[in-house]
Structure 1
Amino acid sequence: MDWLKIGSAVFLIAMIVFIWPRMKHAVANSPKGTMQDWMGYIVPLAAVIGFVFLLIQMV
């Protein structure tokens, strides 16, 4: 194992240690999505999936 891999592993562990409390706070205080918010996500996603399926069927 060379020094680059060791340094990368140490940096990754340090990032997780420093980001964990902020992520925990953000998840606890984030706004909850309503059904309208979810439909605004699901409808375009379904349209893209349908379009890709149509393209696959045309081949």
Structure 2
Amino acid sequence: MTDPVPGKTGVTPTQALITLITCKNLFRSDERTVAFGVLAKTTPKTHERPPDHGRR
């Protein structure tokens, strides 16, 4: 993707969009999954350590 708005050169985006493309084997696969998303919220970065959430 080279345009901020897919298929519309020179248009200013109005949404934060993301496209994720995965494949089974890096660079050599006929099996791919494509997912699209829209940014729902942001969280400012802090210098505090995030909560553990039960991880060990």
TM-score (norm 1): 0.19
Greater fraction of residues in helix? 1
Greater RCO structure (CA 8 Å; 6+ sep) = 2
Greater fraction of residues in strand? 2
- Structure of larger gyration radius: 1
TM-score (norm 2): 0.20
